[in-house]
Amino acid sequence: MADTQYTFKDFKSDQEIRWCPGCGDIAILMAVQKAMAKLDHKKEDYAVISGIGCSSRFPYYMNTYGFHGIHGRAGVLASGVKTANPKLSVWQITGDGDGLAIGGNHFIHEIRRNMNLNIILFNNQIYGLTKGQYSPTSLFGQVTKSSPYGTIEQPFHPGELVIGARGKFFARTIDSKVAETVDILVEADKHKGASVVEILQNCVIYNNGAHNAITSKETRDDNQLWLKHGESMIFGKEKNKGLVLDGLNLKVVTIGENGITKDDILVHDAHQELPYVHLALINMNVADGFPVAFGIIRSVEAPTYEVLLEEQIKDVQSKSKIKNVDDLLHSGNTWTV
Amino acid sequence: MDKKIIEVDQVVIKFAGDSGDGMQLTGTQFSNTSALIGDDVSTFPDYPAEIRAPQGTVGGVSGFQLNFGKKVDTPGDFADVLVAMNPAALKANVVWAKDGATIIIDTDAFTDKNFVKAGCNEEKLKEIYNDFNVIEAPITSLTKESLKDSGLDAKSMVRSKNMFALGMVYCIFDRPMEHSVTFLEKKFAKKTAVAEANIKVLKDGFNYAVTIHAMPSYRVHSSTIEKGVYRNVNGNTATAWGLLAAAEKANLPFFLGSYPITPASEILVEIEKRRDLGAKAFQAEDEIGGIMTSIGAAFAGHLAATSTSGPGLALKGEALGLAVITELPLVVVNVQRGGPSTGLPTKTEQSDLFQALFGRNGESPVPVIAASTPSNCFNYAFEAAKIALEHMTPVVLLTDGFIANGTEPWKIPAMKDMPEITTQFIGKDTKEYLPYLRDKKMVRKWAVPGMKGYEHRIGGLEKMEVTGNVSYVPENHEAMSIERDEKVKNIVNDIPELEIEGNKDAEVLVVGWGSTYGHLTTAVREMNEAGTKVAHAHFNYINPLPKNTADVLSKYKEIIVFELNLGQFAKYLRMMHPNNHYEYYDKIQGLPLTVTEIKEKVNQILEQL
């Protein structure tokens, strides 16, 4: 464990930041640096791994070991690093294009394997670095450079994919909410397994205000539900709105109306193995009259790939007669001339 | 009929049947037994891409050819003995039988139905009988008869018929059965009834051959081979072991990221078994995942490799470029097969040479080396890893389906005799780590996560010389491109020179690379023995080419380049050494060369001189 106390400055590299002024990535960079300073790893034990895209420039701005990979392949690059050296704290930085389009296959498989990785998904619903084409999370009908008449594709909900791939950890936050993001990132790192943190990120150039319905001053209190394990799902300017289960569906209610009291409101259980409520929370959206869920939505313990692998190695080593390559070459049928 | 005894130096046997008939196992058993009693052996499994192709059809024929005796370097062109378990097997393989060869057929399978499936008729097949010594044996019914008291059901009984054929062939060549008996006991340790049944059928087959007297007996002259401990090995296993040996020698943990693909999967399967040596094998979700996890493991300080075949190498192309620009050590094994696209998955070819050399975007130099026999896959896998680690570069190792699946006896090397490998880790007391500071050989140093004070970033964007910061400076890109190229060129100083076999002062030089070695060396040796002057140069190092390549090539009036593609290596030589004239001999049938065709080509050239 770390013998030095770090501050976020220890994690800043000497490279000039080349994101656009006002880019949401800048706040996320700060949040990650602060989270790392809070965590108990040595600086040299962090590895920040990315693919391609605006978000993937991230490693260059971190004073840690870093690897800027190729498009879509951050997940497999990170998986190789972690499998090779399970002691490292491995952070995969990816975006909605990199992680869910070209890297979609790796995304679902790394979640399925449950390797202990921190997968930070910057979701701005657009391709920024290639200058404004629609992404797998762009809204249906969204007009972009490559969808001049509106997209005719249904978007992915990243959290829904995580559940579909039998994921154990999913959290959602907003780029500008640095303090909340820091806490979530710390928890994501502490969670043993593939931790996916979706960060709603604002691209000021190609999709400015994409998350406004959720993040604007006027609407944010009514449209954001910040979940905490063991606490009631209450939100709203007046802190008087909440969620209840109506049959199999979630429903928004107002405390004090129709006999609803605080005790009727659902209490968040992030550790529940069955994913149905988590899935319902993930899928809530403003258009349907729901707040959008933030915080750690799902956090369930399960064996991790790299630990199972190390255990298997130890087990096989204790049983096998083959201790080195000479033994291997002489194993099985041999004869002497 | 009197029993004939034929004295020979080498015998070629081909077992052929349906892909479910157990021909691969039968052939392997015969090869192992022969090797165990001191013969040279070379094998050539040849099977369809389908696991259980339509029974009885020519497309479903699975064959296993082996050559044993003295100075064996190839599985042989033509068979002395052909075992055909059905009409399709006979039809597909009779062209590969020598004139007057002994052909053993299972007459029970020579039914009207099977003639139709094989697309031939009885009369036509009977014509074949005139040219060969055909032994008609009711193998299926004799197997059933042998097992009538075993309590096994009919289907299980028939499954042992390959052992009957094996027993017959053991008898013809006077081989001991004990090794196969032990093998069967082990294989069916938990099914003793099956083990006993197979052993009984094996022995009954042997005895049947004794009884019928209708076949010749061979006395095969054994090789006088070097003293030592031997084993059989195929190219894929040898490749896997060579990589593990390099990791041990370099004192590094080993990582293989891979995705199953014919005919390379066995490398992944072997490394997966090697948890006992601490090896980490990662079966990725696709080919790209295979190489990318390996690059990640290399970044983390492992000896890392990925194994694949042609289509997989195509998918890995972009990632291989990433390994080039990040200058990380990595071994990419490409077990070549027939292409393009899915092509001929189970058949051999050498047509990925250009892909290995040039199949990437940008200026992307990669060392390429090729193994040439099943057992030297061990040495060249080791060598690929050594070059990768010492020169901080990805290396492509080319093998192919022929040597990957083919086996031969191998004198087991001792690890203490393997060359040392020097890794490029940054010294612990280095004050400042500069990721792209180069030594005299243009090689950078390796710092890996967990090393305190050497935190740095690498990646696919062009980097500034020395510091490794992202750089778009035009002159810097040119400088870095040249440095990466120079680094690979410098490897020439660390690889052996090209050697000439045969008559060094001949006018004609036979040139080959990779898996054609056995056929070429046999052809040249036989021609030399017959008084024909011809030399042979065989390339294992493709990029860079050995230092003396120009010298060697310039000494000969005619250079004939033999390869299993449409002339890729010949074109490459012409590009690198344009002052020579190169004659092409190309074959692209999914099959290895034959000694016969090599000799014909050389003779034709000699006549023109």
Q: What is the 3-state secondary structure (H, E, C) of B166-233?
A: HHHHHHHCCCCCHHHHHHHHHHCCCCHHHHHHHHHHHHHHHHHHHHHCCCCEEEECCCCCCCCEEEEE
Residues 6+ apart with CB under 8 A from B154: B144
What are the φ/ψ torsions at residue B468 (nearest 5 degrees)? 80, 10
Model confidence at A57: pLDDT above 70: yes
List the structure tokens of A261. 């009291």
Give how far B270 is from chain A: nearest CA, Å.
Answer: 11
The pLDDT value recorded for residue B52 is: 79
CATH number at residue B32: 3.40.920.10
Answer yes or no: do B300 and A333 touch at CB < 8 A.
Answer: no
Q: Is residue A34 within 8 Å of residue A178, measured between CB atoms?
A: yes
Binned at pLDDT 50, 70 and 90, residue B556 comes out as: very high
Task: Read off the pLDDT band of B307 (50, 70, 90).
Answer: very high
CA–CA distances in Å: residue B429 to residues A102, B142, B446 = 42, 76, 14
A146 Cβ under 8 Å from any chain B Cβ: no
* pLDDT value of position A91: 98
Average pLDDT over residues B567-573: 98
* A329 contact B CB<8A: yes
Looking at residues A313-318, what average pLDDT do you find? 98
Does the structure show a pLDDT above 70 at B215?
no
Verify whether the Cβ–Cβ distance A83 to B38 is below 8 Å.
no
Residue A89, number of CB atoms within 10 A of its CB: 20
Q: What is the pLDDT of residue B47?
A: 84
> How do residues A268-292 score in pLDDT, each as one tens digit?
999 999 999 999 999 999 999 999 9
Residue B358 lies in a domain: yes
Report the pLDDT averaged over residues B500-527.
97
Report yes or no on A84 lying in a domain: yes
Calpha distance A122→B285 (Å, rounded): 23
**A49 contacts B296? CB cut-off 8 A:** yes
Tell me, yes or no, whether B449 lies in a domain: no
Cα(B90)–Cα(B86) distance, integer angstroms: 6
**Of A48, A54, A76, A85, which to mutate for an interface test with B (greatest number of B Cβ within 10 Å)?**
A76
- Most A CBs within 10 Å, among B293, B452, B463, to test the A interface: B293
How far B501 CA sits from the closest chain A CA (Å)? 27
Q: Tell me the pLDDT tens digit for each residue of B31-44.
A: 999 998 888 999 99
Residues B213 and B235 in one domain: no
DSSP state, residue B128: H
Q: What CA–CA distance (Å, rounded) separates B297 from A76?
A: 10
Q: Which of residues 98-127 of A touch B (CB under 8 A)?
A: 105-106, 109
B228 CB within 8 Å of a chain A CB? yes
Q: Is residue A38 part of a domain?
A: yes
Q: What domain count does chain B have?
A: 3
Asked if B281 is an interface residue toward chain A (Cβ–Cβ < 8 A), one would say: no
| Run of H or E including B141 | helix B139-146
Is pLDDT above 70 for B418?
A: yes
Residues B250 and B315 in one domain: yes
Interface residue of A15, A335, A336 to substitute, partner B, most B CBs within 10 Å: A335
Measuring CA to CA, how many Å separate A327 from each of A310, B255, B418? 22, 20, 15
| Same domain flag for B163 and B241 | no
What is the band of B3 on the pLDDT scale with cuts at 50, 70, 90? low
Do strands A169-174 and A292-299 pair parallel, antiparallel, or not at all (unpaired)? antiparallel
Q: Does A64 touch chain B (CB under 8 A)?
A: yes
Closest CA in chain B for residue A48: B457
B545 touches B574 (CB < 8 A): no
Rounded-to-integer distance, Cα B180 and Cα A294, Å: 66
A58 to chain B nearest CA, in Å?
10
In this structure, the answer to whether residues B31 and B157 fall within a common structural domain is yes
Q: Which of A46, A79, A109 sits opposite B296 (nearest CB)?
A: A79
| The pLDDT of residue B158 | 93
Cis geometry, peptide bond prior to residue B263 (ω within 30 degrees of 0): yes
Could you tell me which of B276, B352, B270, B275 has the C-alpha nearest to residue B315?
B352
In the predicted structure, residue A2 carries a pLDDT above the cut 60: no
Sign of CA dihedral A138, A140, A143, A149: positive
B22-26 average pLDDT score: 94
Q: Both B116 and B251 in a single domain?
A: no
B346 and B316 within one domain: yes
**B62-114 pLDDT, tens per residue?**
999 999 999 899 999 999 999 999 999 999 999 999 988 999 999 999 999 99
Please state the rounded mean pLDDT for residues B542-562: 98
Residue B306 CB contacts under 8 Å (≥ 6 apart), including other chains: B256, B257, B258, B290, B291, B294, B316, B330, B331, B332, B333
Based on the fold, state whether residues B149 and B271 are members of the same structural domain: no
Strand stretches in B70-163, DSSP E: 79-84, 97-106, 133-137
B400 plus B525 within the same structural domain: no
- Structurally, how many domains does chain A consist of? 1
Confidence band of B1 (pLDDT split at 50, 70, 90): very low
Instruction: Tell me the backbone φ, ψ of residue B47, rounded to 5 degrees.
Output: -135, 160
Work out whether strand A118-123 and strand A89-95 pair parallel, antiparallel, or are unpaired: parallel
In this structure, is residue B491 part of a structural domain? no
The residue of chain B with its CA nearest to that of A84 is B297
Q: Which domain holds residue A196?
A: 8-210
Q: Where does a domain end: B220, B247, B274? A: B220
Chain A to chain B Cβ contacts (< 8 Å): 202
**A207, A208, A214, A215 alpha-carbon torsion, rounded to 10°:** 150
Nearest by CB to residue B288, choosing from A42, A76, A323, is A76
Residue A260, both tokens: 């609803």
Q: What is the CATH number of the domain that holds B313?
A: 3.40.50.970
What phi and psi values does residue B510 have, to the nearest 5 degrees?
A: -90, 125
Domain membership of residue A309 (yes or no) is no
Tell whether A8 lies on the interface with B, counting CB pairs under 8 A: no
| Amino acid in the structure at residue B350 | Q
Last residue of a domain, one of B379, B395, B416: B416
CB-based contact B322 A52, cutoff 8 Å = no
Together in a domain, B389 and B332? yes
Continuous H helices in B392-516: 401-405, 474-490
Query: B252 with B201, same domain?
Result: no
Query: Does residue B446 lie within any of the structural domains?
Result: no
Task: Enter the pTM of the model.
Answer: 0.94
What pLDDT shows up at residue B128?
Answer: 78
Specify if A3 maps to a domain.
no
Q: Is residue B467 part of a domain?
A: no
Q: What is the domain-level CATH number for residue A128?
A: 3.40.50.970
Last residue of a domain, one of B366, B393, B416: B416
**d(C-alpha B573, C-alpha B561), whole Å:** 9
CA dihedral B83, B86, B91, B94 (to 10 degrees): 10
B573: domain range? 500-608
Tokens of A59: 């490693």
Residues B215 and B242 in one domain: no
B285 and B172 in a common domain: no
